[in-house]
């Protein structure tokens, strides 16, 4: 029996290994985000300065105050009550056309001031009242009326640095002819029965002057509210009785 010898396979020579080439990396472009819908721009609230830039400031007229009173005080009022709140045309003095200083305006609307001043003898009362928006403005007005007031007694009617007790003493102690101040303090003195309105003949609003924010007297919400409350207390009824005259400076 012939044995078959199994021959081992001859090993193949190994091929030299090829150097591995670095693979190139490619960054896939990032997916574009869905474009957001454009936001609607909020309308910027118009400022008083914007309005003034487009047109010259107009001086206040009696209709401005009449309309303001009716618009603001008409809520929850009957027709009869509204009729009693109307300021008659006859109670208004000529308004400042922006050409006057305070002294020249007061001389125009009150030519007999010297006589009124001499005849006024009642304590806790005034002949003329000027309403403005701040203590600093009140001091400025008092300084600017030197040519008009003469030797009359002027009282500062505001809260800044002056306690109400001091103003009460001054009103009770002597005769005061003219008061300049803010509606809040004036209202408080009337409510305390310290300031009597029986002798009051002239009520002047510092209507056209503007503060640093270009706001007029009635543009300031808290001042406007206090002025309307003050008018409602008794001043409107005095105007309707033709014993009180109104001026817009």
Domain boundaries, the chain: 59-248
How much is the pLDDT for 201? 97
* DSSP state letters, 187-201: HHHHHTT-SB-TT--
How much is the pLDDT for 25? 54
Give the ranges where the chain is alpha helix by DSSP (H).
Answer: 48-54, 62-73, 79-84, 102-109, 113-119, 135-144, 146-149, 164-173, 183-191, 221-230, 236-240
How much is the pLDDT for 44? 67
How much is the pLDDT for 46? 63
How much is the pLDDT for 52? 57
Residue pLDDT tens, the chain, 249 long: 444 444 555 555 555 555 555 555 555 555 555 555 556 666 666 665 565 556 577 899 999 999 999 999 888 788 888 899 999 999 999 999 999 999 999 999 999 999 999 999 999 999 999 999 999 999 999 999 999 988 899 999 999 889 999 999 999 999 999 999 999 999 999 999 999 999 999 999 999 999 999 999 999 999 999 999 999 999 999 999 999 999 999
How much is the pLDDT for 191? 95
How much is the pLDDT for 1? 44
Closest alpha carbon to 152 in 178, 172, 170: 178
How much is the pLDDT for 120? 95
Q: Rg of the chain over CA atoms, in angstroms?
A: 40
- In the CATH scheme, what is the homologous superfamily, with its name and number, of domain 59-248? P-loop containing nucleotide triphosphate hydrolases (3.40.50.300)
Closest alpha carbon to 65 in 83, 91, 47, 103: 91
How much is the pLDDT for 73? 86
How much is the pLDDT for 77? 84
The tokens of 103 are what?
């002294």
The tokens of 221 are what?
């919400």
How much is the pLDDT for 11? 55
The tokens of 224 are what?
């406007």
Query: What pairs with residue 178 in β-bridges?
Result: 128, 154
How much is the pLDDT for 16? 53
Q: Widest CA span of the chain, in angstroms?
A: 166
């Amino acid at each position: 029996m012939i044995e078959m010898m199994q021959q081992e396979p001859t090993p193949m020579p190994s091929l030299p290994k090829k150097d591995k080439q670095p693979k190139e990396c490619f960054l896939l472009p990032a997916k574009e985000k869905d474009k957001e819908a454009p936001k609607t721009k909020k309308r910027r609230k118009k400022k008083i300065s914007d309005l003034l830039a487009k047109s010259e400031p107009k001086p206040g007229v009696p209709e401005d105050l009449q309309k303001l009173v009716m618009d603001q005080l008409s809520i929850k009022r009957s027709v009869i009550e509204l009729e009693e709140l109307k300021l008659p045309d006859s109670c208004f003095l000529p308004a400042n056309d922006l050409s006057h200083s305070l002294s020249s305006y007061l001389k125009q609307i009150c030519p007999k001031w010297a006589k009124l001043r001499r005849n006024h003898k009642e304590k806790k009362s005034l002949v003329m009242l000027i309403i403005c928006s701040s203590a600093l403005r009140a001091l400025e007005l008092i300084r600017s009326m030197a040519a008009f007031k003469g030797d009359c007694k002027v009282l500062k009617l505001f809260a800044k640095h002056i306690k109400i007790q001091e103003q009460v003493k001054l009103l009770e102690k002597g005769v005061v002819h003219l008061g300049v101040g803010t509606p809040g303090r004036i209202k408080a003195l009337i409510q305390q029965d310290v300031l009597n309105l029986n002798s009051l003949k002239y009520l002047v609003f510092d209507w056209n002057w503007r503060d640093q924010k270009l706001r007029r007297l009635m543009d300031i919400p808290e001042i406007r509210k206090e002025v309307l409350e003050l008018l409602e207390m008794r001043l409107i009824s005095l105007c309707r009785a033709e014993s009180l005259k109104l001026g817009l400076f």
